[in-house]
């Protein structure tokens, strides 16, 4: 059984930084693309970033390009989201997900989420 667990969220001031981590239990982590999404109350979950199995290819939502960096360490079964120059509109619950196939936009496992709050 695969489990994803996010960590690293918290309260930060505008302009600050946070690094989120997502640990993947189970085998075959290194063969899957992974993604980060976020959700605020009353809104649908939105795509933030994704990374392919090797870490060699990444994609970002336009609003986070140049501020967020997704990376992974396959030896540690972990994917990261480094967030810099945070803005109040980045406030959300952040989720990591395991993509079924690169480019498919389908995810088969999700973590419970971690809250990120950016104060103005």
- Mean residue pLDDT across the chain: 96
CA–CA separation, 44 and 101 (whole Å): 22
Task: Give the 3-state secondary structure of residue 103.
Answer: coil
Q: What is the pLDDT of residue 3?
A: 96
Q: What is the pLDDT of residue 104?
A: 82
Q: What is the pLDDT of residue 119?
A: 97
Question: For residue 35, which phi and psi values (nearest 5 degrees)?
Answer: -140, 160
Residues of the chain under the 50 pLDDT cut:
none
CA–CA separation, 20 and 7 (whole Å): 6
Terminal alpha carbon distance of the chain: 40
């Amino acid at each position: 059984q695969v489990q994803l667990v996010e960590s690293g969220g918290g309260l930060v001031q505008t302009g600050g930084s946070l690094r989120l981590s997502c640990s993947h239990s189970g085998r075959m982590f290194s063969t899957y693309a992974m993604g980060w999404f976020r959700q605020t109350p009353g809104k649908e979950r939105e795509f933030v970033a994704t990374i392919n199995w090797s870490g060699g290819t990444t994609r970002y939502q336009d609003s986070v390009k140049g501020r967020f960096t997704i990376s992974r360490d396959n030896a540690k079964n972990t994917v990261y989201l480094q967030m810099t120059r945070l803005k109040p509109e980045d406030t959300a619950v952040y989720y990591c997900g395991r993509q079924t196939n690169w480019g498919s936009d389908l995810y088969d496992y999700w973590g419970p989420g971690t809250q990120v709050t950016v104060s103005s």
